[in-house]
Chain A
Amino acid sequence: MIKAEHITKRFDDITAVDQVTAEIREGYVFGLIGTNGAGKSTFLRMASGVLKPDEGTVTIDGQPVWENPAVKSRFFYISDDQYFFPNSTPQEMMQFYRNLYPAFDEKRFAHLLESFGLKKDRKIHTFSKGMKKQLSVICGICAGTDYLFCDETFDGLDPVMRQTVKSLFANDMAERNLTPVIASHNLRELEDICDHVGLLHRGGILLSRDLDDMKLNLHKIQCVLRPGMEESAIVGLDVVKKEQTGSIYTLTVRGEEQQVRECMEACDPLFYELIPLSLEEIFISETEVAGYDIKALIL
């Protein structure tokens, strides 16, 4: 398990990550979502020991990550801006990683390179952006580590490749309990694959929860009240957001479905409907509550 405890990172006068505490359990996909500049990448770079937190610690199974090669060999970090040695080929990169990761699976590397149609002796700088991404995913998968940190890895891959990479992840999760940690703002992508989601906003963690719980705990209600009825008649709901168009109210509420339904039944509106929220809508309503409502600024 990866544990980040109250980690803070400042760059001059900017606080990129502020007192973030999070737990990443083994065998589950952890999705790190957040607004632009929320500190997702900084968090990952601290988790992988690239940056030293100004405050707090990151540990894997109790062992600190910072300057600890033994722990570092347990994860592979795919940066959003991957680095390959100048003039190197996939073959050479593989030799480099093989030295760092004892469990590196050479055979599989060769097989995957071939299936992805990447030549092992072509110079990497002649690869396209997407091909470079593919190469680092292949390196990461074959490194045989317990954790795989992916920073915006799916961006820049075409849909077929994305599905393929997800299948690869699924295979390794089932086979050797790989734990992918995926930072992204492509929520559609994360929705399909994540078990647990940490939502970062302005350096702080807004919530960290199982995706399904999150979905079951936030609902959108559309309702039409009886004539003469005040909206204040709806009681007992934890309303996060309220919108009104004519006589139709759209409420975003927290709570369990059963409880929400009971509340609605009790105040007997003309009509009501519960609409499940997508991760994207959850993201929008949670960040909006935290004061991130860009639409309000431009409209």
Chain B
Amino acid sequence: MRVQELCGTAVMQHGNCAAWDSCGCRGEQREGGSVIVLDYKDRRPLYEQVAERFRELIVRGILLPDTQMPSVRSQAMELSINPNTIQRAYSQLEQQGYIYSIKGKGSFVADTGGIMKEQRDRWREEFTGLAQKGVTLGISREEMEAILQKAAGKPMEQGAGGRQAEQDADRKQTGQDDAGKQVEQGSAGEKREKEGGKDS
């Protein structure tokens, strides 16, 4: 299953948890494993974490447009957290345009094309700035390219949602043939980058 592959570390919080047989869902069928998982060491409010995890899933194209989001109740039970927390996360997502809701039916993933375009434009601007700064600091072209390779090696860019990201990457990486080589080395640094990103 795609979701499990991509967030291997993230799924299955309840996989080894006997609680599910006895959790009082009264014979209701449980769908798959948990789509998201919380990091209890993360100090941000839980709703922000929930919203961020869903944003990732939507941006990466794991949750496709018009897919139904898990109901607040089932998601709250799944994570053993307050339904109001989930509700708050959903409201935030809706406000930001990642999901839309239909009264009486639930929430659905929105077509994020517009938001993505906006975000990509903003990224391009920032990245151009950063690249220029790198040049001024005397960072060599090779070094910059190595960083790009690492970033491109992230599983995130290989997801279904990476379509456009790949095109972007192509544009940035013209003239690079040894892409595969450095991918493996990437993983350690990549994690560091990710964590660094969270802090900000």
Interface residues of A (CB under 8 A from B): 27-29, 108, 111-112, 115-117, 141, 160-161, 163-164, 166-168, 170-171, 173-175, 188, 192-195, 211-212, 215-216, 275-278
Set B21, B24, B43: member contacting A278, Cβ < 8 A: B43
Residue of A at shortest CB range from B83? A174
Q: Is B171 an interface residue (CB 8 A)?
A: no
B77 touches A170 (CB 8 A): yes
Given the interface contacts A166-B80, A192-B46, does A116 sit within 8 Å of B22 by beta carbon?
A: yes
**A interface SS class:** helix
Set A115, A141, A161, A193: member contacting B81, Cβ < 8 A: A193
Interface residues of B (CB under 8 A from A): 17-19, 21-26, 40, 43-47, 71-73, 76-78, 80-85, 88
The 21 sampled A-B contact pairs (Cβ below 8 Å) are A28-B84, A29-B82, A108-B26, A115-B23, A117-B22, A160-B17, A160-B19, A164-B23, A164-B80, A167-B24, A170-B73, A171-B23, A171-B76, A171-B77, A173-B76, A173-B83, A174-B76, A174-B83, A211-B45, A212-B88, A278-B43
Residue of A at shortest CB range from B14? A163
**Bound complex: CA A212 to CA B43 (Å):** 11
B82 touches A108 (CB 8 A): no
Q: Determine how close the nearest CB of chain B comes to the CB of A150; give it in whole angstroms.
A: 14
Set B43, B73, B81, B88: member contacting A166, Cβ < 8 A: B81
Apart from A164-B80, A167-B76, A167-B77: 16 A-B pairs, beta carbons within 8 A: A29-B84, A117-B22, A163-B17, A167-B19, A170-B83, A171-B23, A171-B25, A171-B76, A173-B82, A192-B81, A193-B81, A195-B84, A211-B45, A215-B45, A276-B44, A277-B43
B84 touches A27 (CB 8 A): yes
Instruction: Tally inter-chain residue pairs, CB-CB below 8 A.
Output: 88
Residue of A at shortest CB range from B72? A174
A192 touches B24 (CB 8 A): no
Point out the residues of chain A lying under 8 angstroms from B82, CB to CB.
Answer: 29, 170, 173, 192-195
B45 touches A212 (CB 8 A): yes
Point out the residues of chain A lying under 8 angstroms from B83, CB to CB.
Answer: 170, 173-174
